[in-house]
């Protein structure tokens, strides 16, 4: 009798689509466990790679933007405020000085740059770093600052 029941169960396992689907579903659920471990390992390595790149870049300098030489010319502006004093019946005038800047760009600018790159490694991770040599030459043309309402007496150095 027992043998007959075993035969019946094994025959059901071999022929039943439901039994096959249950086995496949069980295997899928079991295989999701190592898949989640692999996914967390990939995420951890991605964060570690970004940390290594940030660490190497902080020692070599992060993003570098080169604009060329720019003249920064300071000048002064003045604002006057008048207040009426009720006790003395007079106006008090107060002058405030503000420092502003004019930025003057070259008329033409020639740039020669040579860039060398190399790869730095730290453990399994790597980052590309660059060194450069630059030469600038250019020409500034005279600028009439009176068009910007800046008078010559307002320029100062220092």
The helix/strand/coil state of 66 is coil
Tell me the mean pLDDT per 10 residues along the chain, length 158.
Answer: 70 83 93 94 91 81 78 83 82 85 87 88 81 87 73 55
* Beta pairing class for 71-85 and 90-104: antiparallel
Phi-psi region of 45 (alpha: psi -120 to 50; beta: other; left: phi over 0): alpha
pTM: predicted TM-score of the whole model, two decimal places: 0.44
Domain extent, residue 19, equals: 2-60
Same domain, 82 and 54: no
Number of domains in the chain: 2
The pLDDT of residue 158: 47
Q: Is residue 111 part of a domain?
A: yes
Q: Is residue 42 part of a domain?
A: yes
| Nearest CA among 69, 58, 55, 66 for reference residue 132 | 66
């Amino acid at each position: 009798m027992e043998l007959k029941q075993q035969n019946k169960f094994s025959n059901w396992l071999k022929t039943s689509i439901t039994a096959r689907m249950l086995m496949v579903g069980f295997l899928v659920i079991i295989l999701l466990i190592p898949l989640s471990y692999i996914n967390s390992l990939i995420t951890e390595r991605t964060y570690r790679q970004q940390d290594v790149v940030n660490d190497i870049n902080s020692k070599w300098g992060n993003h570098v933007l080169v604009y060329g030489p720019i003249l920064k010319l300071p000048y002064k502006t003045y604002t006057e405020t008048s207040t009426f004093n009720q006790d003395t019946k007079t106006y008090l005038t107060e002058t405030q000085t503000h420092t502003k800047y004019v930025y003057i760009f070259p008329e033409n600018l020639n740039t020669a740059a040579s860039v060398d790159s190399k790869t730095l490694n730290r453990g399994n991770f790597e980052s590309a770093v660059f060194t450069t040599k630059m030469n600038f030459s250019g020409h500034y043309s005279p600028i009439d600052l009176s068009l910007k309402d800046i008078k010559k007496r307002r320029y100062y150095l220092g």
